[in-house]
């Protein structure tokens, strides 16, 4: 796979995540994602947690441990926190997001499979 194909697949993945934002099916930030897992928030418990590459070891461990405990899929994508935030219309950095809608989760998973 060429670098151009990989960039196109990543762009599609970020586009699907943007669709999740517009649908209100995304929980933003490490603390909010962990809280949504723990409390099973009204928006719904995340079905997939996506972590930006290059997060601190503490953040990665926290997300990995919570996802393992609550049996929630967890993946790290090859974009930094600033790029993830910008793609989702946020300022600053965004270490992790949680997808709460099952159908959108399947669409994101399909894009993740093509990125890998």
Q: Which CATH architecture has domain 3-115?
A: 2-Layer Sandwich (3.30)
Average pLDDT over residues 79-101: 93
Edge-first strand listing for the sheet containing 73-77: 26-28, 96-99, 48-52, 73-77
Classify residue 91 by burial, with Cβ atoms within 10 Å: 0-12, 13-18, 19+.
exposed
Q: Which residue has the higher pLDDT, 72 or 114?
A: 72
pLDDT value of position 43: 67
| Cβ 99 vs Cβ 26: under 8 Å | yes
Per DSSP bridges, beta strands 73-77 and 96-99 are unpaired
Average pLDDT over residues 59-75: 95
Is 0.95 topped by the overall pTM?
no
Predicted confidence (pLDDT) per residue in 32-49, tens digit: 999 999 887 656 889 999
pLDDT value of position 80: 92
- The answer, yes or no, to whether residue 94 has pLDDT greater than 70, is yes
Q: Which two tokens stand for residue 108?
A: 């994101």
Instruction: List the chain domain ranges.
Output: 3-115
- The answer, yes or no, to whether residue 1 has pLDDT greater than 60, is no
């Amino acid at each position: 796979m060429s670098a151009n194909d990989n960039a196109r697949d990543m762009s599609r993945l970020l586009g699907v995540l943007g669709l999740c934002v517009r649908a209100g099916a995304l929980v933003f930030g490490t603390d909010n994602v962990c809280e949504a897992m723990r409390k099973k928030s009204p928006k719904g418990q995340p079905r997939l947690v996506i972590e930006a590459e290059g997060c601190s070891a503490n953040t990665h461990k926290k997300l990995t441990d919570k996802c393992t405990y609550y049996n929630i899929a967890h993946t790290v994508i090859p974009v930094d926190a600033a790029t993830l935030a910008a793609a989702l219309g946020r300022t600053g950095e965004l270490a992790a997001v949680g997808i709460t809608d099952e159908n959108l989760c399947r669409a994101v998973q399909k894009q993740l499979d093509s990125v890998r």
